[in-house]
């Protein structure tokens, strides 16, 4: 009897492994919408069998997957199938030709720099796995990066198939540059901020989308690829928010920050030291803020969730953490940005769920026009309540808010010569700074200040 039980365990286990291996290596050309009865359990099941999960919604209790006929048959044993659609030559068909390939982005960036040489400053911030440039476009009236102005970063295309996100980045650039002479806000942002745009974090994956597989998501590591947005080091591989399977769409990589694209982004963030960041993804119409692992949240005193909800309201999107709206995510960029780089970051998932990753290009202009309100909200946040802090030496900064008779820490971060903006709510505050130096001037500097309405104060240490 014991031998029979052991045989059955091994047999069932082998069936599970073979099903998973078959499904992960045969993605197919069917778009399938499935209805969930138990969202958490169903997500775990889909993740276990390495389905290409393209969309998930706790609100609607459903999932979208791309799979094969065999995968559909396997799904139907567990789920109610809402809809199945076939895209002819799905894996070989490129997106609408008006979207941007890596070569198109290179050409556009260089032409923009020639058209606006006084405001557009183009820099290759590093190379992809296959040696393509990752471009950063700095929009500012300063010829060189100005450490006395706060910075913000907008990036797109961590995931190669999300082609609409590049269009959003392009629209940010063109709108500011074309309107700075007739729009007071555009002029102010151009003159008071360092705005960095990274239109394509994953150019190798994008090239694969255009030349071989329109649904490719990851970079191109060893043929199977690594999900760059599961490869950042903070909480990497900690909450079942990524996969160890090389064929999975959310494969996290062999180690934290193993990929050159991840390393380039981290190095650039540390150099630019932005106050805010938006990573554009698609699809689902959501504004997502840290953290990605279940039951983890940013401190309420920092107002990150409040900002995310206000931003979402400007465009009618759903706000929340990824674990509230979708599923657990570990190794994502916004968690690393917040926890280790001191940035207030957001993800915006553009496009409605009915459009998918690569809608007709005819939907481009209405979408980027709608999304403007979100990134403009974030740029406008520099003009609202907060504090600008800079220092002539590297040091440790702490900002505390008075709550009744106690002082509660709001920010505790490292700082240096780059001016940085910290958003605050109305109230009484204390700021502490200690230079990282052994000289006699390294004692604590303590100042008190008050924030009212949209007051912005400035300190230099």
Q: How far apart, in whole angstroms, are the C-alpha atoms of residue 410 and residue 397?
A: 11
DSSP 3-state assignment of 32? strand
- Ordered alpha helix ranges (H), 26-81: 39-48, 69-76
Q: How far apart, in whole angstroms, are the C-alpha atoms of residue 1 and residue 435?
A: 72
Would you say 310 and 280 are in contact if contact means Cβ atoms under 8 Å apart?
A: no
CB atoms within 10 A of CB 116: 18
Concatenated DSSP letters of 159-226: STT-THHHHHHHHHHHHHHHHTTT-HHHHHHHHH-EEEEES-S-HHHHHHHHHT-TT--S--GGGT--
Would you say 170 and 214 are in contact if contact means Cβ atoms under 8 Å apart?
A: no
Q: How far apart, in whole angstroms, are the C-alpha atoms of residue 162 and residue 282?
A: 6
Tell me, yes or no, if 349 is annotated catalytic.
yes
- The secondary structure element, H or E, covering residue 38 is none
Unique residue bearing structure tokens 């998930």: 56
Concatenated DSSP letters of 220-289: -GGGT---GGG-SSTTTTSSS-SBS-TTSTTB--SSTT-SHHHHHHHHHHHHH--SEEEEEEESSSEEE-
CB-count exposure of residue 183 (10 Å: 0-12, 13-18, 19+): middle
Q: How far apart, in whole angstroms, are the C-alpha atoms of residue 156 and residue 168?
A: 8
- Ordered alpha helix ranges (H), 299-355: 304-315, 322-325, 333-341
Would you say 450 and 428 are in contact if contact means Cβ atoms under 8 Å apart?
A: yes
Find the catalytic residue in 88, 349, 441, 447.
Answer: 349
Q: How far apart, in whole angstroms, are the C-alpha atoms of residue 99 and residue 166?
A: 8
Q: How far apart, in whole angstroms, are the C-alpha atoms of residue 145 and residue 123?
A: 11
Instruction: Please list the active-site residues.
Output: 349
């Amino acid at each position: 009897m014991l031998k029979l039980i052991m045989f059955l365990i091994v047999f069932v286990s082998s069936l599970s492994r073979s099903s998973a291996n078959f499904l992960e290596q045969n993605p197919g050309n069917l778009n399938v919408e499935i209805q969930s009865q138990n969202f958490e359990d169903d997500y775990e099941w889909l993740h276990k069998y390495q389905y290409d999960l393209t969309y998930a919604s706790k609100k609607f209790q459903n999932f979208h997957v791309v799979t094969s006929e065999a995968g559909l048959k396997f799904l139907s044993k567990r789920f109610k199938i809402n809809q199945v659609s076939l895209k002819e030559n799905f894996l070989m068909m490129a997106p609408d030709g008006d979207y941007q390939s890596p070569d198109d982005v290179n050409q556009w960036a260089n032409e923009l720099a020639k058209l606006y040489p006084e405001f557009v400053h183009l820099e290759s911030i590093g190379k992809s796995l296959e040696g393509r440039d990752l471009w950063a476009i700095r929009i500012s009236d300063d010829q060189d990066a100005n450490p006395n102005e706060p910075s913000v970063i907008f990036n797109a295309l961590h995931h190669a198939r999300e082609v609409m996100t590049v269009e959003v980045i392009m629209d940010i650039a063109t709108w500011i540059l074309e309107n700075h002479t007739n729009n007071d806000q555009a002029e102010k942002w151009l003159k008071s901020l360092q705005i960095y745009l990274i239109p394509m974090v994953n150019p190798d994956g994008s090239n694969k989308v255009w030349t071989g597989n329109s649904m490719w998501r990851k970079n191109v590591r060893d043929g199977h690829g690594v999900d760059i947005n599961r490869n950042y080091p903070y909480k990497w591989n900690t909450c079942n928010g990524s996969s160890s399977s090389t064929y999975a769409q959310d494969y996290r990589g062999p180690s934290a920050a193993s990929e050159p694209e991840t390393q380039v982004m981290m190095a650039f963030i540390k150099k630019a030291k932005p106050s805010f960041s938006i990573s554009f993804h698609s699809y689902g119409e959501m504004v997502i803020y840290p953290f990605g692992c279940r039951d983890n949240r940013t401190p309420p005193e920092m107002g990150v969730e409040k900002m995310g909800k206000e931003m979402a309201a400007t465009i009618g999107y759903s706000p929340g953490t990824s674990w509230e709206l979708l599923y657990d995510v570990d190794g994502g960029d916004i968690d690393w940005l917040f926890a280790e780089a001191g940035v207030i970051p957001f993800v915006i998932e553009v496009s409605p769920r009915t459009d998918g990753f690569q809608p007709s290009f005819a939907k481009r202009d209405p979408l980027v026009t709608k999304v403007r309100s979100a990134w403009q909200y974030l740029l406008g946040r520099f003009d609202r309540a907060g504090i600008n802090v800079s220092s002539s030496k590297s040091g440790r900064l702490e900002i505390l808010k008075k709550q009744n008779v106690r002082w509660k820490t709001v920010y505790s971060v490292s700082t240096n010569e780059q001016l940085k903006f910290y958003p605050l709510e109305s109230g009484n505050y204390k700021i502490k700074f200690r230079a990282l130096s052994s000289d006699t001037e390294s004692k604590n500097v303590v100042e008190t200040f008050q924030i009212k309405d949209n007051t912005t104060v400035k300190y230099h240490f």
